[in-house]
Amino acid sequence: MTKELHKIVFSAMRPTGKLHLGHWLGALQNWVTLQKEYNCVFAVADWHALMGEYENSQQLKEYGIDMAIDWIACGIDPQKSILYIQSEVQEHLELQMFLSCLTPLGWLERNPTYKEQLREITSRDLQTYAFLGYPVLQAADILLYKSTAVPIGEDQLPHLELCREIARRFNFLYKKEVFPDCKAILTETSRLLGVDNRKMSKSYGNAINLSDSVEEITKKTLTMITDPKRIRKTDPGHPEECNVYSYYKALAPELQGEAHIWCTQATKGCIDCKRTLATKLTDYLGPMREKRAQLEKDKDYIRDVLNDGAKKAKSIASQTMAEVRQAVFG
Ligand code: TRP
Ligand code: SF4
């Protein structure tokens, strides 16, 4: 398939720890598909992570490398796509400065994501100068590559909207169409809950990680909460009310019909149902786990991929920056 060369798809993730099934279903799976059709640029957004984790900055490097390993293990192909660490391409910061100058404070203060995070995240002090400007750096990420499409989850839509407004304001003020308009490629956020029925999240410790061993997957799956109304094995259950069943639907649809019958006709108990799921999950994640184990033994390769990615990213970024400087300073 020939790629649409003029189109660049950009996305990024903050390196905050191990990736889990939610990341795969809600983002990565889509990235893997997109790279067949588009030129994709994927960044490990460590500057963005630092805005929240400036007091724990020592882990970011390791997390970043770990995330790159997860990406490649999942099928992000360094031959097809550019993957790199954001802080290794300084142009992001230069563009952020240009964009900061023309971004009205009100746009940032009104940002719903910002307000929500200030309210909800109490473990860290996010009342900082940088954090208010989070979307400006995100806009710089996207615009630096003149990206026209950005795969993101719904939670990131306000940020993309800001990016588009910032781009329009730049083009208007400097009377030059430096930045194209960009659209969201909405990835349906994974609705798969964690094993404890809460939102799947690293901080709850309820996620099945892409790098989990067979034992870990089995152990976590067996702790899953089942239909509370199915008390005895002979009681018929309600699959639609059971998290285990939603895992079948999402990850083993070929067994969905059977699981429905085991449950509603009480032909199989919950423990068996979960054991079967554990086997399925183990198989599902098998290829990623194996690729990951291989990659972990070859840190030099990962470093090479990221260095090469930063070099390629820089070659696009430096062209954009030359245009930006010309447009602003003449
Ligand atoms: N803010 C995004 C998140 O938390 C990560 C991100 C940084 C990003 N820069 C980006 C996403 C540019 C899309 C485009 O998920
Ligand atoms: Fe859930 Fe399976 Fe038990 Fe039904 S049989 S309640 S789907 S674990």
Residue 211 in this model has a pLDDT that exceeds 90: yes
Q: Which ligand is nearest to the CA of 252?
A: 2
Question: What is the 289 CA–ligand 2 centroid distance (Å)?
Answer: 27
The span from the CA of 209 to the CA of 66, in Å, is 12
- State mean pLDDT over 198-213: 92
Please tell me the distance between residue 114's alpha carbon and the centre of ligand 2 in angstroms. 39
| Residue from 136, 152, 186 whose mutation best tests the ligand 1 pocket (most atoms within 8 A of CB) | 152
Q: What is the pLDDT of residues 18-51, one digit of tens each?
A: 899 999 999 999 999 999 999 999 999 999 999 9
Per-residue pLDDT at 129: 96
- Show the 3-state SS of 90-146: CHHHHHHHHHHHHCCHHHHHHCHHHHHHHHHCCCCCCCCHHHHCHHHHHHHHHHHCC
CA dist., res. 76 & res. 42, Å (int): 9
Is the model's pLDDT at 2 over the cut of 90?
no
The residue ranking higher by pLDDT, 45 or 120, is 45
**Higher-confidence position of 5 and 255:** 255
Answer yes or no: is the C-beta of 49 below 6 A from any ligand 1 atom. no
Handedness of CA 20, 21, 24, 25 (dihedral sign): negative
**Confidence grade of residue 121 (pLDDT, cut at 50, 70, 90):** confident
- Residue 111's SS3 state is coil
Task: Please tell me the predicted confidence (pLDDT) of residue 179.
Answer: 98
The Å distance, Cα 279 to ligand 2 centre, comes to: 15
Question: Three-class SS of residue 109?
Answer: helix
Q: What is the pLDDT of residue 5?
A: 54
Percent of the chain with pLDDT over 90: 88
Cα-Cα-Cα-Cα torsion 167, 170, 172, 174, nearest 10 degrees, comes to -150
Question: Relative to the alpha carbon of 31, which ligand is closest?
Answer: 1
Rg (CA), the chain: 22
All domains in the chain, ordered by first residue: 8-192+299-329 (3.40.50.620), 214-292 (1.10.240.10)
What does residue 6 show for φ and ψ, rounded to 5 degrees? -75, -10
> Cα(259)–Cα(251) distance, rounded to whole angstroms?
13
**Element of type H or E holding 277:** helix 270-296
Residue 269 CA: nearest ligand 2 atom is 5
User: pLDDT tens digits for 300-321?
Assistant: 999 999 999 999 999 999 999 9
Cα–Cα dist 224/232, whole Å: 17
What pLDDT is stored for residue 18 in this prediction? 87
What is the pTM assigned to this prediction?
0.94
d(CA 69, CA 58): 19
> 259-298 pLDDT, tens per residue?
999 999 999 999 999 999 999 999 999 999 999 999 999 9
Once rounded to an integer, what is the mean pLDDT over residues 90-113? 97
Q: Which residues contact 24 (CB under 8 A, 6 or more apart)?
A: 74, 190, 210
Query: Looking at the predicted structure, is the pLDDT value of residue 256 above 90?
Result: yes
The per-residue pLDDT for 3 is 60
CB 178 within 8 A of CB 57: no
How confident is the model over 13-23, as pLDDT tens digits? Answer: 999 888 999 99
Q: Identify the residue whose C-alpha is closest to ligand 2 atom 3.
A: 270
Phi-psi region of 264 (alpha: psi -120 to 50; beta: other; left: phi over 0): alpha
14 lines ligand 1 (CB under 6 A): yes
Which atom of ligand 1 is nearest to 141's Cα?
A: 12
Amino acid at 222: L
Q: Residue 27 Cα, ligand 2 centroid: separation in angstroms?
A: 28
How far is the centre of ligand 2, averaged over its atoms, from the C-alpha of 234 (Å)? 12
- The confidence band for 190, taking pLDDT boundaries of 50, 70 and 90, is confident
- Distance (Å, whole) CA 14 – CA 141: 13
